[in-house]
């Protein structure tokens, strides 16, 4: 669909009008700083500095490979796709996380026996409280109590960082404060309670810092999934279409959305732009199949139903479809002159030397000014 066809979307999600690259005019400052330079020349130099052009190559992916920014709603959303495809190539990947997952459930155990007719779920889950424990799957031991939403947020952040360390992620941008969250985690409210101008500001901040060639978020059309998944995806798409992620001297980033085919049968239905990858193929650089790599990375999420043991119990019970050996990512907006992700993977084959240069732990940036 053309940009014109989606013009009302910014109004629908409550975003302000697009502003493009909104850096202040530094020409007056330049005249005072360097009187001997022409104002126009000084302005060009300063604009390049303030837009981050001097950092364009900082943390660059190998051999001109694209830089990636993943924007997700909750800790573990990135497990909807196998980030091993990026790690084995040594690509520079950063992640911006909107909520802390503080209002989710904590998995306690696998229900045994399980009666599909009488029981709502094979997993026993609880909200934070005095009887809620972080429990190592499948049968314990209990590790510690999760008493409050803030305690759960802290646990979810720790799991998130551990999992992203497995992927060699360069930077993590936390967009919401820990103790007083700016963007609440809520299925019922979706994104309606989020401060859209504040979210826009922080997302633009992350984009300016990363300077991505590719932005990946959730799929805006998987409306049967978590409302904050497709709601965030629509916000990100509206910001990109409005030019709010445009950077001086750089083409607009390509935009991709993660399909939720492991969780919803409807997400297996093809949509325009879908790209599929075989999880059962063995990576010569990772030394295992992509499915096995995903299980290892996702095992950090002890508290969440995305953990392979908790997730697998639901698949075996017929509650979830499972991935069926396939990862699906959808091209939403191409970048001029940049090939599709599947073609880029062919142009940039797995590279053990590049992978070895990835950081052991991601750098952490808290974008809220205070907590």
CA 173 centroid distance within chain: 10
Compute the distance between CA of residue 125 and CA of residue 302 in angstroms, rounded to an integer.
Answer: 12
Please give the C-alpha separations between residue 134 and each of 56, 103, 138, 179, 264, in angstroms, as whole numbers. 41, 15, 12, 19, 26
> Looking at residue 55, what DSSP letter applies?
G
Query: Cis peptide before 113, with omega less than 30 degrees from 0?
Result: yes
The tens digit of pLDDT for each residue in 201-235 reads 999 999 999 999 999 999 999 999 999 999 999 99
Domain with CATH 3.40.50.10320 in the chain: 58-366
Across 16-31, average pLDDT: 37
Q: Where do runs of H (alpha helix) occur along 55-145?
A: 84-87
- C-alpha closest to that of 306 among 100, 88, 132, 106: 106
Compute the distance between CA of residue 47 and CA of residue 28 in angstroms, rounded to an integer.
Answer: 12
Average pLDDT score over the chain: 87
The whole-number pLDDT of residue 15 equals 52
β-sheet bridge partners, residue 228: none
Most distant CA atoms of the chain, gap in Å: 82
The whole-number pLDDT of residue 20 equals 40
The whole-number pLDDT of residue 178 equals 94
Which range (62-66, 67-71, 247-251, 273-277) has the least confidence? 62-66
Kindly report the pTM of this predicted structure: 0.84
The tens digit of pLDDT for each residue in 123-138 reads 999 999 999 999 999 9
- C-alpha closest to that of 146 among 104, 174, 110: 104
- C-alpha closest to that of 75 among 203, 172, 206, 142: 172
Report whether 84 contacts 283 (CB < 8 A): yes
The tens digit of pLDDT for each residue in 313-330 reads 999 999 999 999 999 999
- Report, at the CATH architecture level, how domain 58-366 is classified: 3-Layer(aba) Sandwich (3.40)
β-sheet bridge partners, residue 95: 70, 172
Q: Is the pLDDT of residue 75 over 60?
A: yes
Report whether 113 contacts 122 (CB < 8 A): no
The tens digit of pLDDT for each residue in 175-206 reads 999 999 999 999 999 999 999 999 999 999 99
Structure confidence at residue 58 as a pLDDT band (50, 70, 90): very low
The whole-number pLDDT of residue 88 equals 98
Compute the distance between CA of residue 175 and CA of residue 178 in angstroms, rounded to an integer.
Answer: 10
- C-alpha closest to that of 249 among 52, 29, 25: 52
């Amino acid at each position: 669909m053309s940009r014109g066809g989606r013009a009302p979307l910014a109004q629908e999600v409550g975003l302000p009008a697009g502003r493009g690259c909104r850096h202040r005019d530094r020409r007056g400052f330049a005249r005072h700083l360097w009187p001997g330079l022409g104002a126009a020349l000084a302005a060009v130099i300063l604009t390049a500095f303030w837009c981050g052009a001097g950092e364009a190559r900082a943390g660059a992916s190998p051999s001109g490979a694209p830089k990636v920014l993943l924007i997700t709603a909750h800790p573990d959303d990135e497990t909807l796709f196998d980030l091993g495809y990026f790690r084995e190539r040594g690509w520079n990947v950063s992640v911006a996380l909107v909520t802390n997952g503080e209002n989710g459930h904590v998995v306690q155990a696998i229900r045994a026996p399980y009666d599909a007719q009488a029981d709502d779920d094979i997993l026993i889950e609880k909200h934070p409280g005095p009887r809620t424990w972080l429990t190592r799957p499948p049968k314990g031991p209990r590790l510690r109590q999760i008493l409050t939403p803030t305690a759960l947020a802290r646990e979810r952040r720790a799991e998130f960082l551990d999992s992203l360390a497995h992927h060699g992620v360069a930077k993590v941008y936390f967009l919401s404060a820990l103790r007083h969250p700016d963007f609440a985690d809520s299925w019922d409210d979706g994104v309606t309670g989020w401060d859209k101008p504040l979210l826009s500001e922080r997302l633009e901040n992350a984009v300016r810092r990363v300077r991505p060639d590719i932005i990946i978020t959730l799929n805006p059309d998987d409306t049967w999934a978590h409302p904050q998944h497709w709601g965030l995806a629509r916000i990100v798409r509206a910001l990109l279409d409005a030019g709010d992620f445009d950077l001086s001297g750089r083409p607009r980033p390509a935009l991709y959305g993660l399909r939720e085919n492991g969780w919803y049968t409807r997400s297996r239905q093809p949509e325009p732009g879908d790209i599929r990858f075989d999880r059962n193929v063995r990576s010569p650089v990772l030394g295992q199949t992509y499915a096995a790599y995903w299980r290892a990375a996702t095992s950090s999420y002890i508290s969440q139903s995305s953990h392979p043991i908790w997730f697998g119990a639901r698949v075996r019970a017929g509650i979830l479809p499972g991935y069926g050996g396939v990862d699906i990512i959808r091209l939403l907006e191409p970048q001029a002159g940049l090939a599709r992700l599947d073609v880029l993977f062919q142009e940039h084959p797995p590279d053990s030397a590049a992978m070895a240069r990835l950081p052991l732990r991601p750098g952490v940036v808290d974008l809220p000014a205070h907590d």
